[in-house]
């Protein structure tokens, strides 16, 4: 894992941010203790869930799987591989990843906004999202959920290449 230098501003000048030793591993890298993965239950988002589960397993981290029900009532794009019942999809997470500490949440609202808000509430160290969801063909990248999450996230963001699912 590559460690990026963290900075804060003091009187307009960059100053290295001191990270408490209790969140550092033996190699001096920040530990990942909480991971949040956003899903729309599509096949592409499921690749992000798998990646987040692998990351949680590798780091001994807790994984929270978040489904955000968008405000629009009808979806403009249909994904036949998408779970018809998001609650059932979330309900299978514990059985699917029995070796992980896993929690699920379902929220309503704008996906990028809710993902960032839940990450802040949960104290997530990393957010994992796919680069395309069910509306991946409708929006350009700059207006996409992953781009918005990356711009507004309270923590690091891992964007998973999910093109293989399309």
In a domain, 11, yes or no: no
In a domain, 128, yes or no: yes
Domain range holding 150? 24-165
How many structural domains comprise the chain?
1
Please tell me the number of Cα atoms within 13 Å of 146 on its side-chain side. Answer: 24
Asked if 55 and 129 touch (Cβ cutoff 8 Å), the reply is no
Residue 164 tokens read as 């293989």
**Residue 128 or 19, more confident:** 128
In a domain, 42, yes or no: yes
Query: Domain holding 78: CATH number?
Result: 3.40.50.620
Handedness of CA 26, 116, 144, 83 (dihedral sign): positive
How far are the Cα atoms of 57, 64, 126 from residue 123, in angstroms, in the given order?
Answer: 18, 11, 9
In a domain, 10, yes or no: no
Instruction: Express each pLDDT in 85-134 by its tens digit.
Output: 899 999 999 999 999 999 999 999 999 999 999 999 999 999 999 987 55
In a domain, 146, yes or no: yes
**What pTM does this model have?**
0.76
């Amino acid at each position: 894992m590559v460690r990026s230098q963290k900075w804060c501003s003091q009187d307009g000048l960059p100053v290295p941010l001191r990270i408490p030793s209790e969140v550092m591993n033996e190699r001096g890298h920040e530990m990942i203790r909480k991971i949040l993965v956003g899903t729309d239950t599509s096949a592409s988002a499921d690749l992000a869930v798998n990646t987040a589960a692998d990351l949680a397993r590798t780091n001994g981290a807790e994984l929270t799987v978040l489904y955000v029900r968008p405000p629009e009532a009808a979806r403009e794009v249909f994904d036949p591989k998408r779970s018809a019942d998001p609650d059932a999809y979330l309900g299978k997470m514990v059985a699917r990843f029995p070796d992980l500490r896993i929690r699920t949440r379902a929220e309503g609202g704008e996906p990028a906004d809710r993902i960032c808000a839940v990450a802040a509430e949960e104290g997530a160290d990393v957010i994992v999202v796919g680069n395309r969801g069910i509306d991946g063909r409708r929006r350009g990248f700059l207006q996409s959920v992953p781009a918005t999450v990356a711009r507004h996230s309270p923590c690091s963001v891992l964007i998973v290449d999910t093109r293989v699912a399309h």
